[in-house]
C-alpha cells in the first residue's frame, strides 16, 4: 500500500527521499512543493528499522532537497505517536497545537465527473434555491412533493410512497422554468446536466440514439438532475410530426428505465405543453406536470426587491408602486426593466458626473418601455392549459 502510494507520488511529481539499507528499501518520505512551501505527505519506515535514526536522516535529506527548490517552510500533518513524529521533533519541527483537521469527501466520484463532463453537466452553486424570488407555490410544491421524499427515502418506502423521478414544467416564456430546474438541482446538491436537442442531434448519430445513450450513461450516476428544455421539440405528438416518432418511441422506453433507478430526476420544460405526445405525459411516465405562470404580486415584490438590492437606488423608490406597475410582467421582464433603468442612470451619471443613482423616473420610464412578454391571450391560454394538464 505504502509502496503503491510512493510510486504514484513519484509519478505525480512529488519530492521523494528513500532510505536504503542492505540493498533494501527501508524508509521513504515524500513532500509536495507549492511555491516556497512544502507539505510532507508521506513518511514510512520499515518496522525493523524504526527508532534507529532513519526518520531523522530522511527528513534531513528532504530538507536539503527542498532548500534547493526554493522552499522556506516545511509542514507535516501527522497524528500523535505516528511514524515520523520523533524524527520531526529531532529535526526541530515545532508542533502546532490546537489545529483542527476539517475533512470533506467530495460528493461525486472521479468516474462520475467524466460522465458529467461528457454531457456538459455542472455542479451548481449551493444557494440557487435560496436566491429564487417569489415562485412560492412552485417552491412549496416541489419542497413537499419532490425534495422531502428524496431527502427521506426510507420513510417514503415504509409508507409506500414512490420517489419522484420525472417532472414537466410548462408555461409561457421567461417565467423561470430553467432557473427553477437549476435551483432544484442546487437544493438537492445533485449535478445538473442540460441535454440540448440541437447538440444531441449534432453528435453524428440520430437524435433518438444520442438521447438513449445520454439517458443510459447519466442513469448510471448515483444522483443527477437531467434537464431537457423545449421538450416539445423532442417529444411532439407523433400524429402531427411523424418524423419525430423515433425519438418519442425512444423516450417511451428510456423513461421507465430511468424511473427504475432511484436518485435521478428528469426535469423537462416547454412553452407548448399541448404539442407534446400524450403518451409521453401520461401518469407512470411523468410524476408531476407543473404550470409555471407569471408571478403574482408577492412574487413581483420579491423580484423587485431582489433587483433593487443589486442597484444603487434612490430611497424614494417604492417597491410597492413598482409592483403595481408591473402586474403581468415575468421575472425576465422585471430584470429587463431594472437593467433599462440602470442603463439610463448610467448614461446620466456619465454625462453629469454626479453621484450615480437610479431614480424613480428611470424606473418609470424603463417600465413604460417594457412590454410584458406574456399577452392577455397567452395568459388565457396558459390558464386553460393549467386546467387541462397540471397534475400534482
Ligand X SMILES: Nc1ncnc2c1ncn2[C@@H]1O[C@H](COP(=O)(O)OP(=O)(O)OP(=O)(O)O)[C@@H](O)[C@H]1O
Q: Interface mask (CB under 6 A) for ligand X, residues 274-313, using x and -?
A: -----------------------------x--x-------
Quote the CA–CA distance of 30 and 320 in Å, as a whole number: 64
The entry of ligand X, Mg ion, none that residue 70 binds, CB within 5 to 8 Å by partner kind: none
Quote the CA–CA distance of 382 and 291 in Å, as a whole number: 8
Rule CB under 5 A: say whether 86 interacts with Mg ion: no
Residue closest to ligand X, measured at CB: 176
Tell me whether residue 164 or residue 332 sits nearer to Mg ion (CB atom): 332
The entry of Mg ion, ligand X, none that residue 331 binds, CB within 5 to 8 Å by partner kind: ligand X
From 296, 314, 321, 335, residue interacting with ligand X (rule: CB under 6 A):
335
Rounded to a whole number of angstroms, the minimum distance from the CB of residue 173 to ligand X is 3
Select from 49-57, 104-112, 132-140, 213-221 the region that touches ligand X (CB under 6 A).
132-140
Quick check: 189 and 227 in contact, CB under 8 A? no
Residue with cell 451619471: 349
Tell me whether residue 27 or residue 291 sits nearer to ligand X (CB atom): 291
Main-chain phi, psi angles of 208, to 5 degrees:
-60, -45
Rounded to a whole number of angstroms, the minimum distance from the CB of residue 169 to Mg ion is 9
Select from 41-49, 129-137, 188-196, 308-316 the region that touches ligand X (CB under 6 A).
129-137
Main-chain phi, psi angles of 323, to 5 degrees:
-55, -45
Rounded to a whole number of angstroms, the minimum distance from the CB of residue 140 to Mg ion is 21
Rule CB under 6 A: say whether 323 interacts with ligand X: no
Tell me whether residue 321 or residue 335 sits nearer to ligand X (CB atom): 335
Rounded to a whole number of angstroms, the minimum distance from the CB of residue 301 to ligand X is 12
Select from 96-104, 117-125, 168-176, 199-207 the region that touches ligand X (CB under 6 A).
168-176
Q: Which of 251, 284, 276 has its CA nearest to residue 389?
A: 276
Select from 96-104, 128-136, 186-194, 212-220 the region that touches ligand X (CB under 6 A).
128-136
Here the cell at position 11 is: 509519478
Quick check: 339 and 365 in contact, CB under 8 A? no
Tell me whether residue 230 or residue 321 sits nearer to ligand X (CB atom): 230
From 40, 41, 165, 179, residue interacting with ligand X (rule: CB under 6 A):
179
Interface with ligand X (CB under 6 A), residue total: 19
Rule CB under 6 A: say whether 187 interacts with ligand X: no
Q: Which residues contact 338 (CB under 8 A, 6 or more apart)?
A: 304, 307, 308, 311, 363, 366
Rule CB under 5 A: say whether 373 interacts with Mg ion: no
From 5, 86, 90, 178, residue interacting with Mg ion (rule: CB under 5 A):
178
Interface with Mg ion (CB under 5 A), residue total: 2
The entry of ligand X, Mg ion, none that residue 56 binds, CB within 5 to 8 Å by partner kind: none
Tell me whether residue 213 or residue 335 sits nearer to ligand X (CB atom): 335
Here the cell at position 98 is: 490546537
Select from 53-61, 177-185, 351-359, 375-383 the region that touches ligand X (CB under 6 A).
177-185
Kindly report the number of other CB atoms within 10 A of residue 149's CB atom.
17
Q: Interface mask (CB under 6 A) for ligand X, residues 28-57, using x and -?
A: ------------------------------
CB-hemisphere CA count at 13 Å for 33? 17
Tell me whether residue 90 or residue 178 sits nearer to Mg ion (CB atom): 178
Residues engaged in binding ligand X (CB under 6 A): 132-135, 173-179, 229, 269, 271, 303, 306, 331-332, 335
What is the contact surface with Mg ion in residues (CB under 5 A)? 177-178
Amino acid at each position: 500500500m505504502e509502496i503503491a502510494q510512493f510510486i504514484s507520488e513519484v509519478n505525480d511529481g512529488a519530492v521523494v527521499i528513500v532510505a536504503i539499507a542492505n540493498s533494501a528499501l527501508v524508509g521513504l518520505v515524500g513532500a509536495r512543493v507549492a511555491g516556497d512551501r512544502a507539505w510532507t505527505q508521506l513518511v514510512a519506515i520499515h518496522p525493523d528499522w524504526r527508532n534507529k535514526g532513519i526518520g531523522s536522516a530522511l527528513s534531513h535529506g528532504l530538507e536539503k532537497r527542498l532548500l534547493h527548490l526554493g522552499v522556506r517552510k516545511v509542514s507535516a500533518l501527522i497524528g500523535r505517536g505516528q511514524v515520523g513524529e520523533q524524527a520531526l521533533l529531532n529535526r526541530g519541527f515545532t508542533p502546532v497545537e490546537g489545529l483542527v483537521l476539517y475533512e470533506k469527501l467530495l460528493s461525486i466520484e472521479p468516474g462520475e465527473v467524466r460522465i458529467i463532463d461528457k454531457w456538459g453537466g455542472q455542479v451548481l452553486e449551493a444557494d440557487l434555491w435560496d436566491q429564487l424570488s417569489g415562485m412560492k407555490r412552485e417552491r412549496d410544491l416541489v419542497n413537499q412533493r419532490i425534495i422531502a421524499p428524496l431527502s427521506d427515502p426510507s420513510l417514503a418506502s415504509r409508507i409506500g410512497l414512490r420517489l419522484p423521478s420525472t417532472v414537466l414544467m410548462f408555461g409561457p416564456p421567461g417565467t423561470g422554468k430553467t432557473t427553477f430546474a437549476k435551483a432544484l438541482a442546487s437544493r438537492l446538491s445533485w449535478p445538473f446536466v442540460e441535454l440540448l436537442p440541437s447538440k444531441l442531434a449534432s453528435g453524428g448519430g440520430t437524435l433518438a440514439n444520442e438521447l438513449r445513450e445520454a439517458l443510459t450513461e447519466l442513469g448510471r450516476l448515483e444522483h443527477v438532475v437531467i434537464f431537457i428544455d423545449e421538450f416539445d421539440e423532442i417529444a411532439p405528438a407523433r400524429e402531427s410530426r411523424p418524423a419525430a416518432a423515433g425519438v418519442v418511441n425512444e423516450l417511451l422506453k428510456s423513461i421507465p428505465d430511468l424511473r427504475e433507478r432511484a436518485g435521478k430526476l428528469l426535469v423537462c420544460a416547454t412553452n407548448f405543453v399541448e404539442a407534446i405526445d400524450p403518451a409521453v405525459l401520461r401518469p407512470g411516465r411523468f410524476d408531476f406536470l407543473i404550470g409555471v405562470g407569471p408571478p403574482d404580486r408577492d412574487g413581483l415584490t420579491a423580484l423587485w426587491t431582489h433587483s433593487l438590492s443589486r442597484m444603487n437606488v434612490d430611497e424614494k423608490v417604492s417597491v410597492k408602486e413598482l409592483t403595481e406597475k408591473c402586474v403581468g410582467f415575468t421575472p425576465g421582464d422585471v430584470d429587463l426593466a431594472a437593467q433599462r433603468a440602470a442603463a439610463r442612470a448610467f448614461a446620466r451619471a456619465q454625462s453629469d458626473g454626479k453621484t450615480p443613482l437610479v431614480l424613480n423616473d428611470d424606473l418609470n420610464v424603463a417600465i413604460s418601455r417594457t412590454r410584458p412578454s406574456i399577452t392577455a391571450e397567452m395568459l388565457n391560454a396558459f390558464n386553460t392549459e393549467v386546467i387541462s394538464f397540471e397534475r400534482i
